[in-house]
Structure formats: structure tokens, C-alpha cells
Structure 1
Amino acid sequence: MESFARAVEIVLKDGEVRDAPGYRPEAAHWGVAVLASGYVQARQALSEELMAGAL
């Protein structure tokens, strides 16, 4: 949940600078925000930890 909140925060903070009538964040911006939130890295680390424990 923390990663989700961080991604939303990143998009909203950037949107504050770009705000204009009809502004919508692009899909690519969400992808960048998800990467910047640390979600992908956390999932990879958890997966590696689970795989190591299964051996």
C-alpha cells in the first residue's frame, strides 16, 4: 500500500506543476511513478527471498 500511495503522490506533485483545464497524466507517467515508488524493487526482493527459502 505504501508503494501505491507513493506512486500517486509522485503523479499528483508533478500534476501540480502542469495543472491546466483538461490536464490528465499520461499513462507513461504512471509507469515512471510506479518505478520511482520502489514497488518493482520490493517485489523482486521479496520474490528472491521466497525463492531462497524454498531451496
Structure 2
Amino acid sequence: MLQTGRDKGMQLMDQALLEAIQRKEIDPDDAYIHATEKRQFQRFVTDPDLLPQVDLAVS
């Protein structure tokens, strides 16, 4: 519903966060913390401690 209502001023929170990053209005790491779909934000993150850790252990 929100995605189709963009022409009426509605948008998803993640889309607003991505646009704020592009306008340099928000720190990418802060946006990542608040994002619901974190995968979209991983390329912008500058603090590697925020990214999910991959378990490389082989069982």
C-alpha cells in the first residue's frame, strides 16, 4: 500500500532512510540500525561491527 501511494507522499521508512543517506542528512550506520531490511543498507555501512557475523565454522 505504501509503495503504491508514493505519488500521494507515502513511502517506506527504508526508502526514506536511503534517500537521507544520499542527501547526507543521516549517518549510514545510524540508518542501518533503524532499517527494517538491513541487507539494502549493508553497502553503505562504515562500521563493520554493525554487520552480521558469518559463522565460518565447518561441522
TM-score (norm 1): 0.27
Structure number, greater radius of gyration: 1
Structure having the larger proportion of residues in helix? 1
TM normalised by structure 2 equals 0.27
Instruction: Tell me: higher relative CO, structure 1 or 2? Use CA pairs within 8 A at least 6 residues apart.
Output: 1
